[in-house]
Amino acid sequence: MANELKGRETEKRDIERRTYIRESVNLFTLLTGILYGELDQRLEIREAIRNQLKKPVPSHVNWTFCFGGISFFLYIILAVTGVLLLMYYRPTTTDAYESVVIITNIVPYGWLIRGLHHWAANLMILMVILHMLRVFFYGAYKPPRDLNWVVGVLLLFLTLIFGFSGYLLPWNQVSYWATTVATDGAGAIPLIGDQLKYFVRGGPEVSQLTLTRFFALHVVILPAVTFILLFLHFGMLRKQGISGPL
């Protein structure tokens, strides 16, 4: 008898919980419906989405065509995690290292955000190179897509400079010396080497000026230029369509 009462009680609570969920969903649908309905009347979003989703994928397209999309997905992850890291990172030679230690060990989920940023950066370089190889071996660089190939080469450089500038930001031994060696390498270029090294470092040594410049490059200049180039890259892709079979 006691068991039966308990069972009925649990069932009642279960029904109440499900009713609550259903009512919440209904309310959400109603509210979004009121908003969305008004928007759709003016902008015909549903029609636009339906047209996009109906676009058939040509039969020669295989998994190697995913590398470009994966690169873009990783770029979005990098942008989101990068903004979150910015909440705690301090770009000065006295504070940068400590702020990264704090992000990794004290900030809630800081280790996860930093880890995602680190792995997405490494994977993106790999994916962009694989994407470029796919485009090359399918001959998709030939006219009329040659201009998109040029934009792609610029995107590859930007991706590499993203990695190079980000490497200095933790201001630890390895980042300091890697940047010193790499900029020394630039100094070995005939004729313009010394000026180039000075320009990249912002002075004779890797210093606060270098960190400031790399920081500005990493969080403002590169994201903005990459955004514009991606806009062109995808624009041309939409206009010309994906290349044909081999």
Taking CB under 6 A as the rule, does residue 71 contact ligand HEM?
yes
Interface residue with ligand HEM, options 100, 113, 120, 140 (CB under 6 A)? 140
55: Cβ contacts below 8 Å, ≥ 6 apart: none
Q: Closest CB to ligand HEM among 160 and 220?
A: 160
- Does residue 96 contact residue 169 with C-beta atoms inside 8 Å? yes
**Among candidates 167, 169, 181, which has minimal Cα distance to 215?**
169
Please answer whether residues 61 and 242 qualify as being in contact, where contact means their C-beta atoms are separated by less than 8 angstroms. Answer: yes
Q: Which of 100, 128, 200, 206 binds ligand HEM (CB under 6 A)?
A: 128
Instruction: Pick one of 81, 99, 159, 175: the residue that binds ligand HEM (CB under 6 A).
Output: 159
Question: Which of the stretches 10-18, 32-40, 214-222, 229-237 binds ligand HEM when contact is defined by CB under 6 A?
Answer: 229-237
Contacts of residue 112, defined as CB under 8 A and 6 or more positions apart, other chains included, come to: none
Are 238 and 148 within 8 A, CB to CB?
Answer: no
Q: At its nearest, how many Å lie between ligand HEM and the CB of residue 113?
A: 21
Number of residues that bind ligand HEM (CB under 6 A): 27
**Residue whose CB is less far from ligand HEM, 25 or 133:** 133
Using the minimum distance from each CB to ligand HEM, give the nearer residue, 33 or 139.
139
Q: What is the DSSP letter of 57?
A: P
Distance CA 85, CA 234 (A): 28
Closest residue by Cα to residue 124 from 78, 188, 66: 78
- Position 215 contacts ligand HEM (CB under 6 A): no
Please enumerate in sequence order all residues whose Cβ is within 8 A of that of 107, keeping only pairs 6 or more positions apart, or say none. 88
Confirm or reject binding of residue 243 to ligand HEM (CB under 6 A).
yes
Q: Residue from 114, 117, 145, 197 that binds ligand HEM (CB under 6 A)?
A: 145
Alpha carbon 220 to its chain's center:
14
Among 82, 91, 110, 152, binds ligand HEM (CB under 6 A): 152
Asked if 123 is part of the footprint of ligand HEM (rule: CB under 6 A), the reply reads: no
Terminal-residue alpha carbon distance, the chain: 75
Stretch of 20-28, 79-87, 135-143, 168-176 contacting ligand HEM, by CB under 6 A: 135-143
Query: Residue 55 phi/psi, 5° resolution?
Result: -55, 120
| Site residues, ligand HEM (CB under 6 A) | 65, 67-69, 71-72, 75, 128, 131-132, 135, 138, 140-141, 145, 148-149, 152-153, 155-156, 159, 230, 233, 237, 242-243
